[in-house]
Structure 1
């Protein structure tokens, strides 16, 4: 019994010592003065910002360094870095003017030093540099905007339309991207001369200049799907589809509830054939990905070819087929495999990945979808829906 009492007493002392030691580690002395200022500040301009490097004060009370700066009149931002680094990144500027930045040393007791003042002059911000590369042209059913974004900045491309002809402007479409380059179309418009505007916005609400043009969208309609049927040729995907996910699901219009999937045992490349039931002059098409495991992942289709014919080879060969184009599915964010944003999902699942033909195709009745690469599967291909636009020839 005596040994038990001694053991309990020892544990109590050990616990008390541990608590008192922890308390000393966490102790903050409110009486300590603010740390000294940072010194030897060097500002290196970046697109829409700057990188600051500096010499830290030799003060045990230092917790972090804080920069305070104004990116727009009355709109201030803060940037912080710990005592273990000598670098701060400033972002959010929408111009190339000279801006004053205040650098504070902050103590563990949250006392601030007097500010160290430094002036920075940002390089051209992405909203301006990307705008300079942007080109707006008429396309089928609307207007197309192409652009280069070498810094992969998070941007919104905004297209507006004069809905009355009297400068009554409304947003026709907004495209969010962080991709290296892009090709974006706003559609669903009549084939008549209209006024359009385009500008670029970033996440700090900095805006570029505005491009205004009068353009005439090219005539097109969505090709009715009521005459579409599968055409099974000898060399087509032999196991046509996983159970319950046939080719006709590509045009059933029921979303995630119905989709096409080839067999898990299939290999790439593989192809399927669709009979439109009429000859059409295609202008563009959309591929809709299935949400969950096949949106920019898994068996989602990444790289493919589209071929057209009016008299397919009976033996399933390729002599009577013409290549209409080779396509890669765009991910607006530009993020690597395994990462995607809400905008990526909305584009691929709800809006549909939009594809233009590199050259105007000839009128065709039959198309062949040749799948070359998925995002990570070895053979299975999953597509939720496909839609086509153009003109009915006969």
Structure 2
């Protein structure tokens, strides 16, 4: 009986304690003055901004250092750094003109010191610096843009084209990138003189001057399908999974995994070859490979391969013979550069749009192949690193160029 009374009493005590209003323990001392202001700041100019270096004040009430600055007329920004960092990075300036920056010491109670006025001369604005490196050239079926972005800032590249009839400029493609070097290609353009332009913008609203140029895209057309498979001695084209036959590479589908693709046997040795009859003679400008859905730039998708071509109906199986022309050796490139961790953009390019492999001269200009009808593909490595034995998967192939005769 006593035991029951003790238990009930203890429970009642807990109930009373739970009903009491919780007490907040506030460690911020509102009565403390603002932290001491910085007395000296070293300034280093960077592209589109500056780095402020200083000695952190010895003040227990200090929460952070704050800089307030105007990146362009009417656009005020601020940036902060904790008490564990002795520098502030200012970005987004629209010009290289000297400007004043107010630097504050901010207390835990929100009080701010008097500002230290620092004069800053930002480096060349990022959009302007990148615009100075932009190289625009005619490409196969369109235009190619290449650039250098030393800052590594995320930028938008708008490709615009003039409509001759309306005399208006319209955006035809928008590219996004934070890579320090790269290139973009827009295709599907007619092979005639075309006025195009490029504008570069950043997340602060800064926009470069328009870079305008007249280009004439190199003519190309898609080689029509269906093609056919040509059996050659030494090739390893047989499927490793029932139904995933070689003709799946030209069925016009690449959107469903384990269905619309070709897969070789896992026991096949490298290099692995297959031969395609395009059913017409073509001066090839580029090959497009759609990688496996979900597994673009991963697993058994092609990473390294060679291409050979011939017009002979019964060529020597040995590609070292004079019957074959070596068209080139190619490496698959992951746009994001994040090997092993493809992004959504990587999958979009590798599977949906298809990775382009162009035939170019030593200057990077289009150089179509000699006429070929039979195309021999030889895989040396897949994205999982296999170079001795393993499966190879290709979802779809496309061939572009100038068709000579059927």
TM score, norm. by length of structure 1: 0.85
Question: Which residue does the alignment assign to 1:138?
Answer: 138
Secondary structure of the structure 1 residue equivalent to 2:231: coil
Quick check: 1:392 aligned with 2:403?
Answer: yes
The higher radius of gyration belongs to 2
Quick check: 1:299 aligned with 2:297?
Answer: no
| 1:35 CA drift (Å) | 1.7
| 1:66 CA drift (Å) | 2.2
Question: Which residue does the alignment assign to 2:232?
Answer: 233
Unpaired runs of 5+ residues, structure 2, are 18-22, 362-366
Q: For the Cα contact (< 8 Å) 2:276–2:374, is it kept in 1?
A: yes
Q: Deviations over 1:59-96 (max 9, x none)?
A: 11212222222223333333222111112222223432
| 1:23 CA drift (Å) | 6.6
Secondary structure of the structure 1 residue equivalent to 2:277: strand
Question: Which residue does the alignment assign to 2:20?
Answer: none
Question: Which residue does the alignment assign to 2:330?
Answer: 327
Task: Choose 307-316 or 278-287, whichever is displaced more.
Answer: 307-316
Question: Which residue does the alignment assign to 2:394?
Answer: 383
Distance 2:178 2:376 in 1: 32
Q: For the Cα contact (< 8 Å) 2:254–2:293, is it kept in 1?
A: no
Equivalent residues in 2 for 1:1-394, closer than 5 Å = 27-226=27-226, 228-237=227-236, 239-257=238-256, 258-292=260-294, 294-311=295-312, 313-319=315-321, 320-334=323-337, 336-359=338-361, 360=367, 361-378=369-386, 379-394=390-405
| 1:345 CA drift (Å) | 3.0
Secondary structure of the structure 1 residue equivalent to 2:40: strand
Q: For the Cα contact (< 8 Å) 2:103–2:117, is it kept in 1?
A: yes
Q: For the Cα contact (< 8 Å) 1:325–1:358, is it kept in 2?
A: no
Distance 2:355 2:399 in 1: 12
Distance 1:68 1:53 in 2: 15
| 1:166 CA drift (Å) | 4.4
| 1:161 CA drift (Å) | 0.9
Total equivalences in the alignment: 379
Question: Which residue does the alignment assign to 2:364?
Answer: none
Q: For the Cα contact (< 8 Å) 1:177–1:332, is it kept in 2?
A: no
Q: Deviations over 1:331-379 (max 9, x none)?
A: 3333x31334433333323322233212421111111222233332424
Q: Deviations over 1:144-175 (max 9, x none)?
A: 22223344443333221112344311112222
Unpaired runs of 5+ residues, structure 1, are 17-21
Q: For the Cα contact (< 8 Å) 2:237–2:273, is it kept in 1?
A: no
| 1:279 CA drift (Å) | 1.0
| 1:223 CA drift (Å) | 1.4
Q: For the Cα contact (< 8 Å) 1:303–1:371, is it kept in 2?
A: yes
Distance 2:76 2:271 in 1: 54
Aligned-residue Cα RMSD (Å) equals 2.9
Distance 1:32 1:377 in 2: 62
Distance 1:42 1:120 in 2: 10
Q: For the Cα contact (< 8 Å) 1:159–1:172, is it kept in 2?
A: yes
Q: For the Cα contact (< 8 Å) 2:161–2:195, is it kept in 1?
A: yes
Question: Which residue does the alignment assign to 1:19?
Answer: none
Shift of the 75–352 alpha-carbon distance from structure 1 to 2, 3 Å rule, reads farther
Shift of the 198–40 alpha-carbon distance from structure 1 to 2, 3 Å rule, reads same
